[in-house]
Structure 1
Amino acid sequence: MSSNNVILLLGSNINFPEKNIDFAIELINNNLGAIIAKSSKIMTDPIEFVSKNIFCNIAVLISTQFSPIKVLNIVKKIEYGMGRTEDSFVKGCYQDRVIDIDIVCFGNIKFCSHKLTIPHDKHLTQREFSRELLDELNLIIKNKQ
């Protein structure tokens, strides 16, 4: 079975955000695939909604044998298992969250369905903090080669 390199972006802004990120990375490594590289964590203000809680964010590269939909299903299980009760996609707006895990890129695959679009355009083109994390991750990957 072939494997794909997948870039995920994680964010948390309640209930000990840095610890939430660390725990989510452990769950990703155990349930999705090996962590190949990760950016540093950065603290950012909420975007597209108002909150007094600051986000901790990180980008990670994993290697997985799962399909995009299977990865999405596992990511959602991790989010709900960590206590996320409502999904922004379902609710239609952003709010504070224990953990948010977005699939940014999935190898060279372009994928579009009702629940998932790859690549994740907002993270690649519209969000400054995302581009900062992704640039750092790409530099780390390049230096490993």
Structure 2
Amino acid sequence: MSQHTVVLLLGSNLGNKKKNLEHALEKIKENGNQILKISEFLITKPVEFASSNIFCNIATIISTNLSPIQLLNFVKKIEIEMGRVNDSKIYDGYHDRIIDIDIVKYNELLFLSERLEIPHKKHLFERDFSRLLLKDFI
């Protein structure tokens, strides 16, 4: 199976945020995925919704043999296992969350489906915190 280089963004604004991110990274390593690079943690205010809970965010580059949809299913499973109940695509809006894992880039692939858009345009072009995290990754 061929390996693919993928950029992910992770965020948490509930509970022990840094520990949530570290736990998610450990779970990402399952299934033969390899963590190649991790950014520093970045503390940010919520974007596109109001909350008094600040976020802790990181970016990571992984190597995976999963297809884009397989990877999406895998990270959504991690979110559910960690206790996330409000997926923004399903509930049509953003909410506080214990973990959020977004696929930002997958090789140089351009991909669009109802569930997934690669590259993730909001993170690449609209969100200042994302551009800051990704500056050394893209």
- Higher share of residues assigned helix: 1
Q: Find the counterpart in structure 1 of residue 65 from structure 2.
A: 65
Distance in 1, matches of 2:78 and 2:31, equals 9
What is the SS of the residue equivalent to 2:133? helix
Q: Does 1:111 align with 2:104?
A: no
How far 1:15 sits from its partner (Å)? 1.0
What is the SS of the residue equivalent to 2:11? strand
What is the SS of the residue equivalent to 2:135? helix
**Taking structure 2 as the reference length, what is the TM-score of the superposition?**
0.97
Contact 1:13–1:97 (CA<8 Å) still a contact in 2? Answer: yes
Contact 2:7–2:137 (CA<8 Å) still a contact in 1? Answer: no
> How many residues of Structure 1 are paired with residues of Structure 2 in the alignment?
138
Gaps of 5+ in 1: 139-145
Q: Does 1:80 align with 2:80?
A: yes
Q: Find the counterpart in structure 2 of residue 92 from structure 1.
A: 92
Letter paired with 2:26: E
Pairwise CA RMSD of aligned residues? 0.9
**Taking structure 1 as the reference length, what is the TM-score of the superposition?**
0.93
Instruction: Mark the CA change 1:133 to 1:32 in structure 2 (over 3 Å): closer, same or farther.
Output: farther
How far 1:32 sits from its partner (Å)? 5.8
- Structure 1 moving runs of 4+ over 4 Å: none
Distance in 2, matches of 1:51 and 1:41, equals 20
Contact 1:32–1:74 (CA<8 Å) still a contact in 2? Answer: no
Distance in 1, matches of 2:57 and 2:6, equals 17
Q: Find the counterpart in structure 2 of residue 123 from structure 1.
A: 123
Gaps of 5+ in 2: none
Contact 1:32–1:66 (CA<8 Å) still a contact in 2? Answer: no
Contact 2:124–2:131 (CA<8 Å) still a contact in 1? Answer: yes
Distance in 2, matches of 1:32 and 1:121, equals 27
